[in-house]
């Protein structure tokens, strides 16, 4: 086995920690075959510095590190792990030996985040609706055998059962669209209440349909199933932490492609609850499949509903890629979730959502359109998309959270993240399941 590079924390600036050849603002210094990360008094900034130092360590070509010395709590170790993650998740971290229970928690988090990231990073030739379903089913068969029931509704079966949104979006692909439902029920009671329904947008590739994306805009669209991967990873992490509540995982999976059978602008979809939707943008397809997921969650009687999706560019414009966006009309639940995100050290910012947002995509031919016939859906695109979903949320949105995953994927590496998926949001959603 290859040697692990020791990594220490120091309260001294790099220039004084080693020798005067280092600039005082360096994050990282090298001393006698070990690495030293300088930290200060601002803990939020410390975590950013440690994560950025992790990226620098990866860029040095190091593949294995060992966390040693004083000052390493769980969040500082996790920050290093986030930075020291390459695109292929082949780097290895040896956790601090002082607290074995903390090391085990970190191992679970890193392994589950790596699995989540790998799902998103796989090329579209390998990641299509059925393969996504197979990989998620396999994961939960390993984690919770005896506590799961699996249902796959595929192809024209979707029409027969009323799931018109998923079928409409995915019918042009040779890979049939599907809804995957995993019922995780550790209670032993077949009639147990569904504590939470998790809904993930599983668009395994998004060409934009007839509202065709540019080549540059399409390049990263293997990541459009990031919502499905994130909620699956969150449930996997919660199961490993001993989740005792019943959860329904609902993945709405399709490829949004073009052929003679593809849905077109001006088409009208009639949903299971009778709501009619005019398609004014085939590239606003994520909300069309999530609507089915929300209706399924209502049928299951879920007390709390969380959906996650790489839904809008507007969310990225609003919060950047260091945060995810949260939208909800349930004030208490939203406040609780923002607090959980802060505890989990994940960036989450609330964007506006009110009842009137349901009316912000009007149609003369249906109850609503799926967007506005403007570039990017016009002003307030993230809120208007959530307003569309609010039409399908049970109880007028009580108990419902919508995560617009602005930080799920980076098309190129930066000072904090490697190229590709991040799994940002996984910890917060897992913590919510444990509440």
Which residue shows structure tokens 């609850």? Answer: 273
Interior angle at CA 228, CA 198 and CA 109, nearest 5: 85
Q: Which of 285, 295, 273, 268 is nearest to 368 (CA)?
A: 268
Contact by Cβ (8 Å): 392, 271: yes
- Which secondary-structure segment (H or E) carries 58? helix 43-59
Q: What is the DSSP string of 293-307?
A: HHHHHHHTT-SEEEE
Q: Report the distance separating Cα 221 and Cα 225, nearest Å.
A: 8
Residue 18 burial (10 A CB sphere; 0-12, 13-18, 19+): middle
DSSP 8-state code for residue 212: P
What is the DSSP code (8-state) at residue 84? S
To the query of whether residue 244 is one of the catalytic residues in this protein, the response is: no
CA-to-CA distance for 226 and 337, rounded, in angstroms?
20
- 3-class SS at 150? strand
β-strand pairing of 5-10 with 304-309: unpaired
Spatial strand order of the sheet with 268-270 comes to: 268-270, 276-278, 368-369
SS3 356: helix
Active-site choice (213, 272, 303, 350): 213
Q: What is the 3-state secondary structure (H, E, C) of 102-138?
A: HHHHHHHHHHHHHHHHHHHHCCCCCCCHHHHHHHHHH
317: three-class secondary structure by DSSP = helix
Cα–Cα distance for residue pair 61/91, rounded to 1 Å: 10
Catalytic-labelled residue, pool 139, 287, 358, 391? 287
Give the CA distances from residue 269 to residues 162, 289, 302, in Å, rounded to whole numbers and listed in that order: 11, 11, 25
* Spatial CB neighbours of 288, under 8 Å, sequence gap ≥ 6: 165, 166, 168, 169, 269, 277, 279, 370
Residue 325 pairs in a beta bridge with 349, 404
Q: How far apart are CA 251 and CA 136, in angstroms?
A: 10
Catalytic residue check, 213: yes
Any idea which residues carry the catalytic annotation? 213, 287
């Amino acid at each position: 086995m290859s040697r692990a590079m020791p990594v220490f924390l120091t309260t001294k600036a790099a220039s004084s920690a080693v020798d005067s050849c280092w600039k005082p603002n360096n994050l990282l210094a090298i001393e006698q075959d070990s690495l030293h990360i300088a930290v200060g008094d601002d803990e939020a900034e410390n975590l950013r510095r440690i994560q950025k130092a992790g990226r620098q360590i990866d860029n040095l070509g190091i593949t294995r590190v060992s966390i040693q010395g004083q000052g390493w709590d769980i969040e500082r170790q996790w920050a290093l792990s986030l930075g020291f993650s390459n695109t292929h998740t082949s780097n290895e971290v040896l956790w601090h030996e002082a607290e074995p229970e903390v090391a085990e928690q970190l191992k679970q988090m890193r392994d589950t985040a790596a699995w989540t990231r790998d799902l998103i990073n796989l090329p579209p030739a390998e990641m299509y609706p059925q393969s996504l379903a197979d990989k998620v089913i396999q994961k939960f068969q390993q984690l919770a055998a005896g506590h799961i029931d699996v249902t796959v509704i595929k192809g024209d079966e979707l029409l027969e059962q009323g799931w018109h949104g998923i079928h409409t979006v995915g019918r042009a692909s040779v890979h049939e669209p599907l809804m995957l439902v995993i019922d995780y029920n550790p209670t032993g009671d077949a009639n147990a209440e569904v504590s939470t329904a998790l809904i993930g947008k599983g668009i395994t590739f998004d060409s934009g349909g007839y509202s065709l994306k540019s080549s540059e805009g399409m390049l990263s669209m293997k990541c459009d199933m990031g919502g499905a991967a994130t909620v699956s990873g969150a449930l996997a992490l919660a199961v490993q932490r001993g989740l005792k509540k019943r959860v329904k995982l609902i993945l709405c999976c399709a490829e949004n492609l073009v052929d003679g059978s593809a849905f077109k602008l001006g088409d009208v979809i009639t949903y299971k609850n009778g709501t009619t939707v005019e398609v004014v943008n085939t590239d606003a397809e994520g909300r069309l499949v999530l609507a089915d997921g929300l209706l399924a969650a209502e049928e299951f009687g879920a007390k709390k509903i969380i959906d996650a999706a790489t839904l809008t560019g507007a969310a990225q414009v609003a919060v950047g890629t260091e945060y995810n966006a949260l939208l909800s009309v349930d004030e208490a639940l939203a406040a609780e979730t923002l607090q959980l995100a802060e505890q989990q050290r994940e960036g989450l910012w609330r964007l506006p959502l009110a009842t009137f947002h349901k009316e912000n995509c009007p149609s003369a031919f249906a109850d609503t359109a799926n967007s506005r016939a403007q570039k990017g859906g016009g002003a307030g695109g993230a809120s208007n998309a959530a307003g569309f979903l609010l039409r399908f949320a049970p109880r007028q949105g009580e108990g419902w959270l919508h995560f617009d995953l602005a930080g799920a994927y980076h098309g190129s590496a930066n000072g904090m993240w490697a190229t590709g998926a991040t799994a940002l949001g996984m910890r917060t959603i897992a913590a919510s399941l444990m509440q």
